[in-house]
Structure 1
């Protein structure tokens, strides 16, 4: 073999090794989940309903996530994640293609992670994602939101992601993680209009865990609840009757905290949240009836106790109780909502599970619309015609 031919072959081999080395420093991963099952609701506007439903235990989704090693403990990262209906194939998150997450950022083991785009809130990240404290945001039919607190007003199930957000998550400092987020309102001439800020902290030592968060949004009906593709730019974007009468609020404030303790195969949890819809009447035309005349503020205080038990390596059992007191607005005396979540999750493999969940809600008093309070499980097909509602769901979840 000629010397020049040998050199050419060596050059190609070295080039191939070089390309392989670059590719090894970068990665793109396709991932997702498909969830479908049967759901029974005892009363939807006066009639029982049995249906094939999607996203009961976990939201059906597909996504792409990637990293590029930039050297010196610095990586570029991105995530694009969209929800969809397993039963119809329709785009989820009210028509938003990548409505679950869409962000790009930089990450360092030493300094933490900064990301920009549509993202989960900081309080949710600390209390639910990192610590897995609320039942409704973890095991209790989290995909449908059925087991969450009244209307998920405290966003501990992340019914709402946040647009136009810059987010920072610290490294784990001896069990402590700090998360902060700011969302730009994007309104010319008013830097803070429609803006959101959110901070959270999580502590976990393996046996005891504690988390807390503070959230504040201006014009929440549009900046927070109405930030998806098919949401109304002028109407009411809070569909659940538990809070829809408070859509005229000038701001929404959420304070939440929770703790958990591991005892053998059981994990016990307790959650408290305080949600205030302030300056009611600031946004005209989004509510009707007595709610249109509301002024001042309305407050929802919620407490939850829960336990989950790993009966076998494959079988998880869970039970939770939550109580929400709505102070009401105007001359309304307010309402109370009591919910019980119970369920079982059986893992057939690392990626496939069977689930059976039940949620019961009972209401009393006067709801946000100035009407008699009715059962209104979040994520269900609609409110009950009486003061209670039962939802049962069972199905199959596969992750890839």
Structure 2
């Protein structure tokens, strides 16, 4: 009887100790909205003749805009001496129909494993966000989300890309200062009967930030090269300051020799399938400037109103279809917290762009005008 009691006591003590040293947490966001979107693309030849006009409209329920829906598992184990093992597995899904966000990919958000320490920072390997993904959300009143209203419309994925097969180091917070860097290196060579094929995906992501309770400043840089493409470069700088009665935001960035993700003014409505795709002149010679100015202000105890203006200027003189592009996006939104985890939101965004395409001799070929309107009301819940 005494042995049985001793065995139960020891088992309970070991279980309690193991529970204290390691933990796994389920987290996520369910975000569903009802919205309207309209995109109109008009092409006019150099002589002023209308070439084509395409308009598409969408009205109905969709996956949320305020952050997208996802679920994930994250955990850590105390290894002693202040060091912890950690992991994260995250998967996006469409809350309007329950489907996976990306077919054939189980964890398209994050899938990484690493070590961390309060003194020297963290080192993780796997499928994870670039440094800007952790540093730059506070340069936009919409948090780089909210569909067309978010900074991704003009900055693309440069403020929130996800890289596979990457190694990332993040320093600890040093009195408000923090820096991070990530390396993407994946080279494969296969030889068959003397003929070789290569896969070459390499890149670097770097960032530096400073933050206090009221102020934020960030600087990020990414460079990427994939098989068969030129090396692309992207950098951005931004910040925000909270005056209590209102918070102001600003950002500026450039991309060279390639786009980092899809960008609003460079979208072209395809008449055959209605899918918005990037224009074919992306690549070497591509030069882009993007900027953002924003404002948010509290409304009562639980509400926040948001405004932003975004712009972009892009050109590519060496492409097979030389082009110049300019765009402007104006957005307004409101979010109301029903609790610490649940909020309702609404936003409206209007953007317009003009793409001017030229022949190889420099003569104007045609002008493409893009107008896009997006309005949505949604509900989101964090768990």
1:105 and 2:114 aligned: yes
What are the residue-to-residue correspondences of 1:223-262 with 2, within 5 Å?
249-262=229-242
With structure 2 as the length reference, what TM-score do the two structures score?
0.81
Q: Once the 2 structures are TM-superposed, how far is the Cα of residue 23 of structure 1 from its aligned partner?
A: 1.1
1:6 and 2:22 aligned: no
1:336 and 2:321 aligned: no
Counterpart pick for 1:52 among 61, 69, 74: 61
Q: Is the 8 A contact 1:268 1:308 kept in 2?
A: yes
Report the counterpart of residue 268 of structure 2 in structure 1. none
Report the counterpart of residue 139 of structure 2 in structure 1. 133
Q: Is the 8 A contact 2:189 2:199 kept in 1?
A: no
Q: Once the 2 structures are TM-superposed, how far is the Cα of residue 340 of structure 1 from its aligned partner?
A: 1.0
1:186 and 2:169 aligned: no
Q: Is the 8 A contact 1:182 1:198 kept in 2?
A: yes
Report the counterpart of residue 345 of structure 2 in structure 1. 355
RMSD: 2.7
Report the counterpart of residue 34 of structure 1 in structure 2. 30
Q: Is the 8 A contact 2:231 2:257 kept in 1?
A: yes
Q: Once the 2 structures are TM-superposed, how far is the Cα of residue 271 of structure 1 from its aligned partner?
A: 0.1
User: For this pair of structures, how many residues does the alignment match?
Assistant: 339
Q: Once the 2 structures are TM-superposed, how far is the Cα of residue 56 of structure 1 from its aligned partner?
A: 1.2
Q: 1:145 to 1:293 in 2, by over 3 A?
A: closer
Q: 1:93 to 1:308 in 2, by over 3 A?
A: farther
Q: 335-344 or 6-15: which moved more?
A: 6-15
Query: For each residue in 1:319-339, what CA deviation from the matched residue of structure 2 results, as whole angstroms up to 9, or x when unmatched?
Result: 010110012333634010101
1:326 and 2:314 aligned: yes
Q: Once the 2 structures are TM-superposed, how far is the Cα of residue 134 of structure 1 from its aligned partner?
A: 2.3
Q: 1:327 to 1:81 in 2, by over 3 A?
A: same
Q: Once the 2 structures are TM-superposed, how far is the Cα of residue 146 of structure 1 from its aligned partner?
A: 4.7
Tell me the secondary structure at the aligned position of residue 124 of structure 1. Answer: helix
Report the counterpart of residue 88 of structure 1 in structure 2. 97
What are the residue-to-residue correspondences of 1:142-291 with 2, within 5 Å?
144=147, 146-150=149-153, 152-156=155-159, 158=160, 160-188=161-189, 193-219=200-226, 249-277=229-257
Distance, in Å, in 1 between the alignment partners of 2:157 and 2:61 is 28
Please state which structure has a larger fraction of its residues in strand.
2
Distance, in Å, in 2 between the alignment partners of 1:186 and 1:27 is 36
Q: Is the 8 A contact 2:30 2:68 kept in 1?
A: yes
Any gaps of 5 or more consecutive residues in structure 2? 41-53, 191-196, 260-278, 360-364
Tell me the secondary structure at the aligned position of residue 58 of structure 2. Answer: strand
1:19 and 2:15 aligned: yes
Q: Once the 2 structures are TM-superposed, how far is the Cα of residue 209 of structure 1 from its aligned partner?
A: 1.6
